[in-house]
Amino acid sequence: MKIREAIDSDLNDVLSVEKEAFGYEKEANLVKDLLSDPSASPLYSLLAFNDDRAVGHVLFTSARLEGTQNNASISLLAPLAIIPDFQKQGVGGKLIERGLKHLANSGVDLVFVLGHPDYYPRSGFKPAGVQGFEAPYPIPEEHANAWMVQELHPGVIGNVSGKVRCADMLNKPEHWRE
C-alpha cells in the first residue's frame, strides 16, 4: 500500500475512488468543488494505491472557529472514501493517520469530522459537542456523537470553544446530516 499527496493530475483517480466508494456521484462532486474552493485552502488531499490502482482518498480542508479569542488552527476531515474491495483492511486508518501527522506538523491544532461514531474514535476522535464545539449546522441529538474532534497539540481543548465554520462548498445544511 502506497500513500501519497494527491496532485492535480490525480483528479480522475480521486473522483473515481469517491464514486466507487459511495456508489453515487454526490461525494465526488463535493470533492471536485472543494478542490477548487479558495475558502477550503490550505487543504490536504491523500490517495492510497494498491499497486497502481487508487483505492482510497481522504480530504482535509481548512476551517475556522468562531466564538473564541484563541487563534486555534483547525481542519475538517471530509470525505474519507475507500473502494469496497479494500474496506475493512486498514486503508482508511492509514490515510487518517498520515493526514493527521502532516496537519500536526503544519501547525493545525484541531481536526473535526462528522462521521460514524464507531469508526473515527479508532483514530483518536472524540465527541466534539460536549467539549464546547458546535457543528456548522445543528446535529440531531441522536447523532450528536457523530460530530467529533481530534486534538493534535495538547492543551488546546479546554482553552478554546465555539462554532466551526467550514469551507463555502461544505457550508450547506445537506452536508451536515449524519
Q: What's the fold here for domain 2-176?
A: Aminopeptidase (3.40.630)
Domain boundaries, the chain: 2-176
Write out pLDDT tens, residues 163-174: 999 999 999 988
Task: Give the Å distances, CA to CA, from 142 to 7, 21, 119, 139, 177.
Answer: 38, 26, 17, 8, 11
Q: Which grid cell sits at 176? A: 451536515
pLDDT band at 118 (very low <50, low <70, confident <90, very high): very high
Q: Above 80 in pLDDT, residue 2? A: yes
Q: Above 60 in pLDDT, residue 136? A: yes
Could you give the percent of the chain with pLDDT greater than 90? Answer: 91
